[in-house]
Homo-oligomer: A and B are copies of this chain.
């Protein structure tokens, strides 16, 4: 249905704005994605928003018109509102001209087809939403199947993580599980578990990686726990030529993932 909201005090504005907080996202099973570019990627990946908020003052882009039509056909709402209310929803001064409210779509580990992709990313206790979203974006770029989140990671459906993912929140499978579950599932089929670590001398370019390759990146500050490292089939390190002993977690994941992709595409 197409409707209009003009007042800040409208209960729907308050409800949607509350989706910037994790507890409300989890209660409603909904999250926010902003911008026509990301929302078009979502549509192409088969995800339509339940609600689409748009700025009533602006002419719609042709892609937005297509998107609105599909939302309405699917029984969703297109809500005409003001730039100020869009800013309030997004928490940014310069809000995008469209904001979508989507159903969260986590995948169960048991529903993953590990052979559907040569690379899978695994993050342990990743705390920074920018890092997590960037890992999703990198996963998309290297043709990974998805991101498996272990332990207490930041919420992949937060506004910041969705923004950093640049749409990959919709194209990458997202699994949240405990380490023991993951290991049991992993060892029930093919799969090489490769951890990046500071506690090894093995150069990341030396091994031959095997598909499906699971690239494990540990917590930003502590790295991964020792027993997780012990479970890895390979622990590797990137050369570090400076004063610092580590890379940003999302950067380390990307450098590692491109090495694996580069090996696979050579053969």
- The interface of chain A, by Cβ under 8 A from chain B, is 41, 44-45, 130, 134, 137-144, 164, 166-168, 171, 205, 238-244, 246-248, 250-251, 254-255, 258, 261-262, 265
Contact = CB atoms under 8 A, between A and B. Distances in A.
A137 B246 CA distance: 9
Given A241-B143, A262-B205, A265-B239, A137 B248 contact: yes
Contacts of A248: 134, 137-138, 164, 166, 250, 254
A258 B255 contact: yes
7 contacts: A137-B247, A137-B251, A142-B239, A142-B241, A144-B242, A247-B254, A254-B254
Contacts of A45: 243
A116 to B, nearest CB: 13
A166 B243 CA distance: 10
A143 B247 contact: no
A215 to B, nearest CB: 14
Nearest to A170: B243
A37 to B, nearest CB: 10
Contacts of A261: 239, 241
A258 to B, nearest CB: 5
B168 A242 contact: yes
A210 B143 CA distance: 30
Nearest to A255: B258
B141 A241 contact: yes
A240 B265 CA distance: 12
A136 to B, nearest CB: 10
Contacts of A139: 242
A258 B253 CA distance: 12
Given A141-B238, A238-B141, A167 B244 contact: yes
